Amino acid sequence: MERAAPHPHIVHEKVDPMSLQGKTAVVTGAGSGIGRAIAVRLARDNAAIAVWDLNGDGAAETARQITDAGGKAIGMVVDCADETAIKAAAAKVRAEFGPITILVNNAGMAPFTPYMEISNELWDKTIAVNLKGPHLCTREMIPDMLAAGWGRIINITSSSTQSGSFGQAHYVASKGGLLGLTKALALEYAPTGITVNMVPPGFIDTPMLRAAPIDAEAFAKTLPMKRIGQPEDIAAACAFLASEEAGYMTGQTISMNGGRYMGSA
Give 35 or 264, the one with higher predicted confidence.
Answer: 35
State the DSSP code for 203: S
Whether the predicted pLDDT of 159 surpasses 90? no
Q: How confident is the model at residue 256 (pLDDT cuts 50, 70, 90)?
A: confident
How many Cα atoms sit within 13 Å of 208 on the Cβ side?
21
Compute the average pLDDT of residues 159-177: 87
**Would residue 189 show up in a list of annotated catalytic residues for this protein?**
no
Q: Which residue out of 115, 171, 248, 261 is catalytically annotated?
A: 171
Compute the average pLDDT of residues 48-62: 98
Whether the predicted pLDDT of 259 surpasses 80? no
Torsion of CA 124, 125, 129, 130, to 10 degrees: -50
Whether the predicted pLDDT of 43 surpasses 80? yes
Compute the average pLDDT of residues 198-211: 71
* Distance from C-alpha of 106 to C-alpha of 41, rounded to nearest angstrom: 14
Domains and CATH numbers, the chain: 24-246 (3.40.50.720)
Whether the predicted pLDDT of 12 surpasses 70? no
pLDDT of residue 230: 86
* Distance from C-alpha of 74 to C-alpha of 59, rounded to nearest angstrom: 8
pLDDT of residue 246: 97
